[in-house]
Structure 1
């Protein structure tokens, strides 16, 4: 359930933020903000399904997933291929997220 929640959160957060980006930076219609805000609401709700004892830990671990999904969006939607620095930085962040999620707690 946690992985599914993170994937849904990442897709809806990126879609919602992209809607705002499109309006402000690309001159898109303000009507883009309606699905954008709806996506951000789904994003916030999805994170509540993460199985974690503390919200902050769930949000911190989500950061690695968000970075990976953002670069996939950049490549798939915007047509900009990630470079080696993007890949290396993403790998580093995923290792950090794994430490947060799987680190021993006493």
Structure 2
């Protein structure tokens, strides 16, 4: 557990906005980084936020956390079929308003 907490502390120190990013769209990418360092890491999702389970403990960019959902949903192990969509959570949505777009 100490190694995971040290890893997350170092990650937060990379940039002043890292903690905010890890809680606002970058939570899946935090899992991916943890998975690289701790191969047994598993992503758990509550329809709003990804936690990383390593052993018997849950983590996010803040450190060790309890799997209590802020949206009132249950955390479930994330299905790998959802991964492709999760890569874009930190990206702005595409603008589908074509008004003012020149064609040709």
The structure whose residues are more often helix, as a share, is 1
State the TM-score, normalizing by the size of structure 1. 0.31
TM-score of the two chains, using structure 2 as the length reference: 0.31
Structure (1 or 2) with the greater strand fraction? 2
